[in-house]
Amino acid sequence: MPSVMAKVAMVVSNSCAPDPRVLRSAFWLVEAGHQVTIHAFDRLQLNSKSESIDGARIMRYHLGVTPYGGMSKTIRGILQFTKRVKATLIHSPPDLIYCHDADTLSIAVAMKKSHSIPFIFDMHDLHHSWIRMPSPDSIIRKLLSLKMESTMLRRAKVADAIITTSGKISNGQHDGFEQYLKSKGLDCIVVENRPLEMSIPENKSSQQEQWTIGYLGRVREVKTFTLLLQAVKLIAVNKRPKVIIAGDGIRADEVRQLMMDAVESGDIEAEVSGAFTPVQFQQLVKQLDVMFAVYPPQRGNILQGALPVKMFDAAANGIPSIVNSDCLMGELAESEGIGKAVVWDDAIAISNAMLELRGTTVELKISSQREKKRFLSAVLPLLDD
């Protein structure tokens, strides 16, 4: 236990209901003897304003409904959130500010300037790439993305430490976010999204009649699911897997309709549901034989090193994943034996991968203990000063 308990303020622009990476990092700090408060933006105002999880307090800000993936309304909502959090922290200054992703950095930069409070930037993803997703060819969105990237890099240079979610694997070919940051002159520590708990089931038989492929997570585009549907329909009707999709997101309603139309026409058997809790995730993942984690490579973050959380979560439960090839996620999945990499938009390759992985049980051999050591090596020196 530390000689003095430090107050850590974590800031995240989602509702943290849940956000596994945020909660995992908070848990590690609480376990190390520190006091953690998570300031979360409950954009849709669906969760309680105050909650305690594993010793960390979550303060959720309800500031009116703010959409995900929008333009002006989303930007105004984020600005209002950062203003409110800044006021809260000025009233009761913490010893350390921990920024989860780039859209919370303005708070920490301002507090460091006014109150000399150190801060950590945890770059979960290439945040500036997301604004282009709804319309990748939009000139306005491209210019906004470039401006967001420039602002992020300027603020990141003031951080006392930077953590990110991916880096090139040993003897690997594909870069991760660590290499992106280093190319911009920024040092960082990689802490991957490997889950705290693992539960490996007994081996499944590839001959079992009922089997399932699933997608558990945010539903941000339709093309991923039209590709999944095409691949399933390539399999003989009496051998097709059931499809399970669970998650919220800006395209969730469209994807639900896509799948229900396929069910009504007799093409597939499917279940589609919304957001889920950690307990519900465990119930859902146990129903799967294969996890689907294939994304449009036009998303800037895919080719630059994104590692899907669902791939690690699935492997922790013995479930193999189908992921993108020609990028870090595919290289890591195949090097660790936790999945199969396929070319984007190749329904035949995806269909073959489903059949190949059916009945396979995998093991996530590198656990979160390695990530915990990396995390604490970055954070604790700032709390011991």
Residue 265's pLDDT is what? 96
What digits encode the pLDDT tens for the residues 316-371? 999 999 999 999 999 999 999 999 999 999 999 999 999 999 999 999 999 899 99
Choice among 49-63, 167-181, 298-312, 333-347 with the minimum mean pLDDT: 298-312
Cβ within 8 Å of residue 259, ≥6 positions away: 225, 229, 243, 245, 268, 270, 272
Q: Which tokens is 268 given?
A: 């597939």
Under 8 Å between Cβ of 383 and 34: yes
78-82: long-range contacts at Cβ-Cβ below 8 A with a sequence spacing of 24 or more?
78/13, 78/41, 78/103, 81/13, 81/41, 82/106, 82/107
Report DSSP state, residue 44.
T
Tell me if residue 37 falls in helix, strand or coil: strand
Domains defined along the chain, listed by start: 7-194+368-383 (3.40.50.2000), 212-357 (3.40.50.2000)
Strand ranges for the chain from DSSP E:
7-12, 35-41, 50-53, 56-61, 96-100, 119-123, 161-164, 189-190, 212-216, 242-246, 270-273, 290-293, 321-324, 339-342
User: Which of the four pLDDT bands, split at 50, 70 and 90, describes residue 36?
Assistant: very high
Q: Is the pTM of this model over 0.85?
A: yes
Is the confidence at residue 299, as pLDDT, over 90? no
Is the confidence at residue 185, as pLDDT, over 60? yes
Burial of 35 (0-12, 13-18, 19+ CB in 10 A): middle
Q: Looking at residues 284-309, what average pLDDT do you find?
A: 91
Between the alpha carbon of residue 152 and those of residues 4, 230, 261, the distances in Å are 32, 39, 42
Residue 355's pLDDT is what? 97
Identify the helix (H) or strand (E) that includes residue 192.
none
Is the confidence at residue 3, as pLDDT, over 70? no
User: Which of the four pLDDT bands, split at 50, 70 and 90, describes residue 66?
Assistant: confident
User: Which of the four pLDDT bands, split at 50, 70 and 90, describes residue 130?
Assistant: confident
Is the confidence at residue 199, as pLDDT, over 90? no
Under 8 Å between Cβ of 145 and 131: yes
User: Which of the four pLDDT bands, split at 50, 70 and 90, describes residue 180?
Assistant: very high
User: Which of the four pLDDT bands, split at 50, 70 and 90, describes residue 2?
Assistant: low
